[in-house]
Amino acid sequence: MSNTTQLLRFITAGSVDDGKSTLIGRLLHDSKSIFEDQLSAITKTSERRGGLGSVDLSLLTDGLQAEREQGITIDVAYRYFATPKRKFIIGDTPGHEQYTRNMVTAASTANLAVILIDARKGVLTQTRRHTFIASLVGVPHVVLAVNKMDMVDYSQEKFDAICTEYRAFAAQLGLHDMTCIPMSALNGDMVVERGENLNWYQGSPLLELLENVVIDYDINTTDFRYPVQWVCRPQTQEYHDFRGYMGRIESGVITVGDEITIQPSGRTTKVKEIVTYDGNLQSARAPQSVTLTLTDEIDISRGDMFVKSETMPQVSKEFEAMLCWLSESPLDLNRKYIIKHTTRVVKCSFARLGYRVDVNTLEQHSSSALNMNDIARVAMKVQLPLVFDSYIKNRFTGSFIVIDEATNNTVAAGMIA
């Protein structure tokens, strides 16, 4: 199995009331990823709390003492399970209003988002918010899980109405790959097994979809982008003149002999070797971590980016971005902050605050402040040029974080327009 299994990262968004814990519990349980000692520990806790004889599966993911005491989820929890086809990493995000920043965090690395709704309630404000964030953060695949179908007599009519409403909303956001699945996580219908209650549904159960969704093209395969992480100069007798540029291919492909441009200097050279611990390669592609040697001696350091000469990124000290503010201290327009973009760290300032998006209605408002969980369009200036693509084109070279120099906290996540 290890020779072929792929890795899929997905998030689940929704509230406990939508049956999210039950859904995750069902996926883990039916794929045999809940262990006896875990089950016995949460059974004990459920009993101690005077549970009504049923085991509270949310205790599996609520890992912190404060969460168990207060019965809430504070932070993103990562869970792991596997089937013979794929390994899965679930980023489980709390559904409460104040936790936009957690969903943005978990969604930033996800291939797919499962957005959960209660079939009785239909598309809610919260559903719109979760879908907007998934689209903002560029999650390539979205699944709308219409749960609790057992509570609406497994009605196809009800399901169709919800899907029609949701599809119209998703289309506004430009979601390309969206699937609606009716299910009952409680009874296990359409989660791992098809069950017998939803025979009118022609599509796959959730797990089958998770196992088969094509993720090879989630990474940009055309534009070669290689931020230099570390310059390798062994200075040993054997490798006296060796000078290798270490990094991870964030997108695209590179082959020995390819001409590359080093940004932001704009100098060009050719790839001499692709070095790895397991031997030199003729060709490599995202997301491999490799070491490149070049045919010319050029002054190159961390923060520079290698690109192929035919697909150039933008190089600029000014750009616009969508920013999600993550910190309890609001943005101070008079201050300078620090940006970390790929492997480059530079000072930045905010030239202008554009509109703020109301995540519940998608309406745009003019704005003079940015508080925690706010999402807004901003114009930024940086001290040294950045080498970037728009986020829509490239998730790796289009994203950045903002750091407050005084506290060293990560205060915002940015996506370049």
Partner 1 sequence: MSNQSFTHLDVLESESIHIMREVAAECKNPALLFSGGKDSIVMLRLAEKAFRPARLPFPLVHIDTEHNFPEVIACRDKLASDLGERLIVRSLDDSIKKGTIVLKNADQGRNVFQSVTLLETIAEFEFDACIGGARRDEEKARAKERIFSFRDEFGQWDPKNQRPELWDTYNTRVHAGENIRVFPISNWTEMDIWEYIARENLYIPEIYYAHERDVIRRDNGILPVSHLVQPKSGEKIEKMTVRFRTVGDMTCTCPVESNARNAQEIIEETAITRITERGATRMDDQTSEASMELRKKEGYF
Site string for partner 1, 120-149 (x = CB under 8 A): ------------------------------
Q: Closer CB to partner 1, residue 41 or residue 171? A: 41
Helix axes 100-107, 125-136, angle to 10 degrees: 40
Alpha-carbon gap, residue 362 to 129, rounded angstroms: 8
Rounded to the nearest whole angstrom, what is the least distance from the CB of residue 332 to partner 1 in the complex? 18
User: E strands of 148-278, at which residues?
Assistant: 177-182, 225-232, 244-248, 253-255, 259-263, 267-275
DSSP of 19-31: THHHHHHHHHHHT
Q: Which of 43, 55, 72, 87 binds partner 1 (CB under 8 A)?
A: 87
Structure tokens at 183: 């299910």
Question: Does 35 participate in binding partner 1 (rule CB under 8 A)?
Answer: yes
**Can residue 64 be called a binding residue for partner 1 (CB under 8 A)?**
yes
Please report how close the Cβ of residue 343 comes to partner 1 at its closest, in angstroms: 7
Which of 230, 309, 329, 371 is in the footprint of partner 1 by CB under 8 A?
230
Q: Which of 155, 269, 343, 390 binds partner 1 (CB under 8 A)?
A: 343
317-336 residues in contact with partner 1 (CB under 8 A) are: 326
Q: Which stretch binds partner 1 (CB under 8 A): 85-93, 124-132, 198-206, 363-371?
A: 85-93
- Mention every residue, 6+ apart, whose C-beta is less than 8 A from residue 139: 11, 107, 110, 111, 112, 113
Q: In this structure, what token pair is assigned to residue 44? A: 């004990």
Shortest spacing between CB 267 and partner 1, in angstroms:
22
Closest approach, Cβ 11 to partner 1, in A, equals 13
For the record, the structure tokens of 9 come out as 């990262």
Q: How far apart are CA 192 and CA 145, in angstroms?
A: 13
Nearer to partner 1, 159 or 245 (CB): 245
Shorter beta-carbon distance to partner 1: residue 39 or 192 = 39
Interaction between residue 6 and partner 1 (CB under 8 A): yes
DSSP 262-273: EETTTEEEEEEE
Cα 385 to Cα 232, 347, 416, distances in angstroms: 24, 11, 14
d(CA 206, CA 417): 33
Site for partner 1 in 392-411 (CB under 8 A): 395-396, 399-401, 403, 408-410
Question: How many residues sit in the footprint of partner 1 (CB under 8 A)?
Answer: 79
Cβ proximity of 355 and 364 under 8 Å: yes
Q: Which of 17, 47, 49, 63 binds partner 1 (CB under 8 A)?
A: 63
State the binding string over 358-397 for partner 1 (x if CB under 8 A, else -): -------------------------------------xx-
Q: How far is the CB of 300 from partner 1 (least distance, A)?
A: 13
Q: Give the shortest CB-373-to-partner 1 separation in angstroms.
A: 11
**216 forms part of the interface with partner 1 (CB under 8 A):** yes
Q: Which stretch binds partner 1 (CB under 8 A): 114-122, 178-186, 232-240, 359-367?
A: 232-240
Q: Which of 13, 24, 76, 162 binds partner 1 (CB under 8 A)?
A: 76
Residue 197, H or E segment: none
**Burial of residue 150, with CB atoms counted within 10 A of its CB: 0-12 exposed, 13-18 middle, 19 or more buried:** middle
Q: How far is the CB of 8 from partner 1 (least distance, A)?
A: 9
Please identify, among the stretches 20-28, 112-120, 204-212, 241-249, the one whose residues bind partner 1 according to the rule CB under 8 A.
241-249
Closer to partner 1 by CB, 140 or 195: give it: 140
- Region 151-190 residues binding partner 1, contact defined as CB under 8 A: none
Q: Would you state the structure tokens that stand for residue 209, as one six-digit string?
A: 């979809």
- 241 burial level (CB within 10 Å; 0-12, 13-18, 19+): exposed
| Interface characters, 276-315, with partner 1 (x: CB under 8 A) | xxx----x-x-xxx------------x-------------
CA distance 114 to 54: 25
Question: Residue 9: helix, strand or coil by DSSP?
Answer: strand
Q: Convert 111-129 into a string of H (helix), E (strand) and C (coil).
A: CEEEEEEECCCCCCHHHHH
Question: Least distance in Å: CB of 54 to partner 1?
Answer: 19
Q: Which is nearer to partner 1, 5 or 199 (CB)?
A: 5
d(CA 370, CA 323): 9
> In this complex, which beta carbon is closest to partner 1, that of residue 73 or of residue 197?
73
